[in-house]
Amino acid sequence: MKIAAFADWFGLGTVNGIIESARCGAQGVQLQAWRELNPFEITPAKITEVKKTAEDYGQTITALCGELHEVNPGGHGLEVAEQNPRQIEYLKRVFDLAARLGCNIVTTHIGVIPEDKDDDRYRALLSACGELSEHALAMDAWLAIETGPEPVARLCEFADSCPGGRAAVNYDPANLVMVTNDDEVKGVYTAGKRIVHTHAKDGIMKKYMGPEHVYNIFAEGGVEALASLSGLFVETPLGQGGVRWPEYLKALRDVRYDGYLTIEREVGHDAAADIRMAVGFLKELL
């Protein structure tokens, strides 16, 4: 396993975020496919600059993050069929951009997968993710769905149902601890070989409200709405939350995951300092 950082959380822009990732000792970097890297607007010159910076500083681009809430503010991932054409087109362009940057993983939140397979939202999700999985197959890439909005077992069953066989898992243990109340260690064994990328994040659940309720608030209000959820959970620096890191990393080894632990720090007074600390924390454990 190798350590990466999410470039955007340094707050320095894409290129400087890549440089800072290298300076803090990470081996790779995940990039957000929006703003500077909006696939609808990005120029060949920008692609060249990003790719060259990563090469010059020894950073592997681990994954691109598809931001569906930027494409459809107030949306619910891929749950609403009539909203999906532009979102699917966006994610296909993210895959295309990833390929040009030498990367074959696109991570995203698709919404909440309902337990009822006859639910219209389930059908919309399956149709959209199936189309994206087939697109990923044609590009020898992976659609990595992030854990959190539903139990890991349900996500895995859904991913296995997607045509194309390229729907996989972006494993975020903190989401399971903070929101879903699902066992972050046991879930690794459930997901197994489906895990193609991970986020190294930590947190504590204060009060269980149910992931569908939490993600609905986020979908409607965006990142700003997370402040209203402070009574339910809190994201912490690595090692200061509820994720059982030694057991979690052992589980990843047991299922033979050898990809990246990509540090994500979405809040905090000094996210950059927390990322640097997290690199040291993970190095010591590994």
CB 259 within 8 A of CB 197: yes
pLDDT tens-digit series, residues 24-45: 999 999 999 999 999 999 999 9
DSSP state of 179: I
Q: In the predicted model, is pLDDT for residue 206 greater than 80?
A: yes
249 CB neighbour count, 10 Å cutoff = 21
**pLDDT tens digits, residue range 222-255?**
767 777 788 899 999 999 999 999 999 999 999 9
Q: Model confidence at 58, in pLDDT bands (50, 70, 90)?
A: very high
Mean pLDDT of 192-199: 98
pLDDT, residue 81, reads 95
Mean pLDDT of all residues in the chain?
95
Split at pLDDT 50, 70, 90, the class of 69 is: confident
DSSP-derived secondary structure for the chain: -EEEEEGGGGSS-HHHHHHHHHHTT-SEEEEESSGGG-TTT--HHHHHHHHHHHHHTT-EEEEEEE-HHHHSTT--TT--GGGHHHHHHHHHHHHHHHHHTT--EEEE------S-TTSHHHHHHHHHHHHHHHHHHHTT-EEEEESSSS-HHHHHHHHHHSTTS-EEEEE-HHHIIIII---TTHHHHHHGGGEEEEEE-EEEESS---HHHHHHHHHHH-GGGGGGGTTTEEEE-TTSSS--HHHHHHHHHHTT--SEEEE---SSS-HHHHHHHHHHHHHHH-
Burial class of residue 157 in the structure, from the number of CB atoms within 10 Å of its CB (0-12 exposed, 13-18 middle, 19+ buried)? middle
Q: What is the mean pLDDT of residues 199-217?
A: 93
CATH tag, 2-285: 3.20.20.150
Q: Which of 39-43, 194-198, 208-212, 280-284 has the lowest mean pLDDT?
A: 208-212
pLDDT tens digits for range 157-186 = 999 999 999 999 999 999 999 999 999 999
Q: Is 74 a residue whose pLDDT tops 70?
A: no
Any idea where the domains of the chain sit in the sequence? 2-285
- Residue 218 confidence class, pLDDT cut points 50, 70, 90: confident
The answer on pLDDT for 75 being more than 90 is no
The pLDDT, as a whole number, for residue 225 is 76
The residues, any chain, with a CB within 8 Å of residue 206's CB and separated by 6 or more, are 231, 232, 233, 234
